[in-house]
Amino acid sequence: MRLLLLLFLLLPAYVHSATTGIEPEVVTTIEMSRSDMNRIVCPYPITDFATSKENNMTYKISGNNLFIKFPVIAVTKDGELIEKKYFNGYAEVHLVCGDAVYSLILQAEQKKTETVYLSDTAGKMKKANEYVRSKSYEDLITEFIQALIENKPLNDFYMDESDEKETYRGIDISVSRVMVGGGYVVKELILESKEKVSLTDTELLKLRMLSNVKAVALLSPTFAGITKAYVVQGKIK
């Protein structure tokens, strides 16, 4: 992770920028390149797009992606082309992605191509809750743990890294990844001990970093070195 961050920091300044966290049903102003093709990425396939004809925008929809470009304005005199100028203003656009509607004010600026990532936190929460209700408890716990083992979050669930740490009986315990959704928090624990130790699932319930635990899977109850455990916490009130 640190290596990837270092590589990104070393990239030259002309790499395109990105904007994230744009939610639906809120009018949001975004600066975009007035000369290059820009990209908007929706969390769901784009089913509709609307803007005023006067804006004369060039665009193409491809799945979850909208590629959009401001017009180049031709300046003429006596019917002859004198010069071409880049658009210098703003355009209001509306996108429909799944059940979400996004209203954006695109501000033309002198900058490199922009990529905008739209979010739908409320929509994902709703879908995650529906997914949880559609599964039996046993299947749900199994899928939660499998998702963390494979590092592939379930659809409409969020997965992130964590810096939680704790020491128990001389065992260094840290949370490496967390998956959240449907009212549940699923944690992957890294347990490290220099000496051979034995640990039970129920002992993990004593950790301060855990609460409202519904299920625990400890891969190696007796170990020296490193092992992992998976903990399902829920439901969050």
Tell me the CA distances in angstroms from 40 to 32, 47, 59, 104, 118, one per residue in order: 10, 13, 11, 11, 7
CATH number of the domain at 61, please: 2.60.40
pLDDT (tens digit per residue) in 88-145 = 899 999 999 988 899 999 999 999 889 998 988 888 888 899 999 999 999 999 999 9
Average pLDDT over residues 209-229: 94
The DSSP code for 202 is G
Instruction: Write down which residue in 119, 147, 164 finishes a domain.
Output: 119
pLDDT (tens digit per residue) in 57-99 = 999 999 999 999 999 887 777 777 678 888 889 999 999 998 8
Q: Which residues span the domain enclosing 23? A: 13-119
Residues 167, 151, single domain; the answer is yes
Q: What gap in Å lies between CA 55 and CA 58, rounded to an integer?
A: 9
Of 109, 110, 116, 125, the residue nearest 28 (C-alpha): 116
Number of Cα atoms under 13 Å in the Cβ half of residue 21: 0
Residues 58, 101, single domain; the answer is yes
In this predicted structure, the answer to whether residue 46 has a pLDDT above a threshold of 70 is yes
In this predicted structure, the answer to whether residue 15 has a pLDDT above a threshold of 60 is no
Residues 113, 24, single domain; the answer is yes
Q: What gap in Å lies between CA 173 and CA 14, rounded to an integer?
A: 42
**Helix, strand and coil percent figures for the chain, each rounded to 5:** 20, 50, 30
Work out how many domains the chain is built from and give that number: 2
In this predicted structure, the answer to whether residue 3 has a pLDDT above a threshold of 50 is no
Q: What gap in Å lies between CA 1 and CA 213, rounded to an integer?
A: 29
pLDDT band at 25 (very low <50, low <70, confident <90, very high): confident
Q: Cβ distance 45 to 121 under 8 Å?
A: no
- The mean pLDDT of the chain is 86
Look at residue 224 and tell me if it is in a domain.
yes
Query: Which pLDDT belongs to residue 21?
Result: 76
In this predicted structure, the answer to whether residue 4 has a pLDDT above a threshold of 70 is no
**Pairing relationship of beta strands 46-51 and 90-97 according to DSSP bridges:** antiparallel
Q: What gap in Å lies between CA 140 and CA 24, rounded to an integer?
A: 29
Higher pLDDT, 117 or 6: 117
Query: Which pLDDT belongs to residue 236?
Result: 52
Look at residue 76 and tell me if it is in a domain.
yes
Q: Cβ distance 78 to 1 under 8 Å?
A: no
Could you tell me the end-to-end alpha-carbon distance of the chain, in angstroms, rounded to an integer?
A: 32
Query: Which pLDDT belongs to residue 6?
Result: 34
Look at residue 2 and tell me if it is in a domain.
no
Of 102, 153, 159, 156, the residue nearest 124 (C-alpha): 156
Of 99, 103, 95, the residue nearest 28 (C-alpha): 103
Q: What gap in Å lies between CA 35 and CA 104, rounded to an integer?
A: 19
pLDDT band at 17 (very low <50, low <70, confident <90, very high): low
Instruction: Write down which residue in 119, 138, 170 finishes a domain.
Output: 119
Query: Which pLDDT belongs to residue 228?
Result: 96
How much is the pTM?
0.61
Q: Cβ distance 57 to 88 under 8 Å?
A: no
Query: Which pLDDT belongs to residue 86?
Result: 87
- The most distant pair of C-alpha atoms in the chain lies apart, rounded to whole Å, by 90
Q: Among 10-19, 40-49, 173-182, which is the least confidently predicted range?
A: 10-19
pLDDT (tens digit per residue) in 136-175 = 999 999 999 999 999 999 988 888 888 899 999 999 999 9
* Alpha-carbon dihedral sign for residues 8, 28, 155, 62: negative
Q: Cβ distance 101 to 90 under 8 Å?
A: no
